[in-house]
Amino acid sequence: MRYQWQFQPYRRRFKQALETSHGLWTLREGIILRLVNEAGNVGWGEIAPIPWFGSETLEQAWSFCHQLPSALSEELIFSIPNALPCCQFAFESAWERMKEQTLDNAAPQRRSGAEGEAAFVDEGLTLRPQNLNSQAQNSNIAVQNSNIAVQNSNIAVQNLTLRPQNLIIQAQTSIVAVPHSKTLAQNSKFLPQSSITPLQNSDIAVQNSELQPQNSKLRPPHAIVAVPSSIVTAQNSILQSQVSTINPRAVSPRPSLLSPLPPLPHSVLLPAGTAALHAWKPLWQKGFRTFKWKIGVQAIVTEVELLHELTQTLPPTAKLRLDANGGLSLNEAIQWLQVCDALIDNPNHSAAIEYIEQPLDTAQFQTMQDLSRRYQTPIALDESIATLQQLQTCYANGWRGIFVIKPAIVGSPKHLRQFCQEHLIDAVFSSAFETAIGRQAGLQLAEELGNLDRAMGYGTTHWLDDADIDDVEQLWQTL
């Protein structure tokens, strides 16, 4: 199938210049994509480069768009080179949104034709069950009287990763025997909400609630999961996670990608310097509880004094992230870590220091690795993992700290999902000051893949003039 598409540039001015260790940022520029299939279903994407962060330039993205034909194939969309990560994100996101709208528009017909049965639709990316009661073919799973019983005791799930909102299920070819309602396991990878389930050579977890398949993410795309039409319940299951203690949020119905997502806790960006001492109050009243503050902008002596004042001013339940954008020297980074460790050890200090983000330049990865082992204060990588290839390299080199991922510049959503489902990382998803189109696509990934015990870094809309425009058609008309 071929898809018609259009693109337009945008320019958005910051309400006040964003001050970082890289300098002042006054204008946000990017490109909006509109992808349409033969049925008229529309998908939106956004190219939002940050060249000094590690992405392609706006000029390179613009040139690439001009080189493309007026009708795009799926093969072309998923073969954009890694040197253009913002373009990868934009085109794949637009394709996903278009597919989602196609499914949403077809849902009423499926429901009228198959009342009470589940419809699994293979999008090439996601299997979306449409009803609470799941039924599929080619399965040997039987559930009776709320106890999970395997009649033939052979459940073959090959290379399949299930990542619902409330847990991560990774199952490799296995034989599962489930006696009664208790599931025993080893080598499982889950992110459960509050309880834990040990399972044997399989990653099938059922929490103390009805399985809600419409929230499940099933990978890889062409696998078939079969469950009888009865609602699967496991009473008093104990869910055991051997890899991670990350707790995702409770399961909620998966919304259309064109509708607002359920609220995620967001961290909000404060202005640099003394302005932060007053800027946090109205943001706190709006519900923000985690704040990010830029450091490495002024002299370290000045900023440390401001930090002490800020941590005493913020309410005790607040969390504070310090973002250096790679602008500190090694001596400054050590001083900051010592100051933050002292605050952690001081029971009288108010707000908690959550982590220091990218204290050193990307070339000093090993030094940051060493510092993360020497000090209590966690270190998060940001610029060092700007693209998926950089993220993979840092992980391969042993980084197991916090990963701050900017979806708009990291690259392919498809490949990012694959990586995050194979490796349980402590991921915080963060804004690149994109429009509602890029923000919505980024939050979708945050919802699926992020550590939901941490606030996501999307509290940035107050920095831009028209960031409150959430209607994509309206946004398109303003360009």
Helix (H, G, I), strand (E, B) or coil at 454: coil
* Whether residue 450 has pLDDT greater than 50: yes
Task: Express as a percent the part of the chain with pLDDT over 70.
Answer: 66
Question: By mean pLDDT, which of 101-115, 423-437, 443-457 is the weakest?
Answer: 101-115
* Whether residue 234 has pLDDT greater than 70: no
**What is the tens place of the pLDDT at every residue in 115-136?**
554 443 344 443 333 333 333 3
Provide the pLDDT confidence category of residue 109 given band limits of 50, 70 and 90. low
Closest CA to 219 of 348, 324, 318, 122: 122
pTM of the predicted protein model: 0.69
**What is the tens place of the pLDDT at every residue in 155-203?**
333 333 333 333 333 333 333 333 333 333 333 333 333 333 333 333 4
Give backbone dihedrals phi and psi of 94, rounded to 5 degrees, phi first: -60, -40
What is the Cα–Cα distance from 182 to 62, expressed in whole angstroms?
A: 56
What is the Cα–Cα distance from 351 to 408, expressed in whole angstroms?
A: 30
Provide the pLDDT confidence category of residue 97 given band limits of 50, 70 and 90. very high
**What is the tens place of the pLDDT at every residue in 316-328?**
999 999 999 999 9
Residues in the chain: 479
Which of the 8 DSSP states describes residue 230?
A: S
CA distances from 138 to 26, 279, 410 (A): 57, 58, 37
Report how far Cα 44 is from the mean position of its chain's Cα atoms. Answer: 18
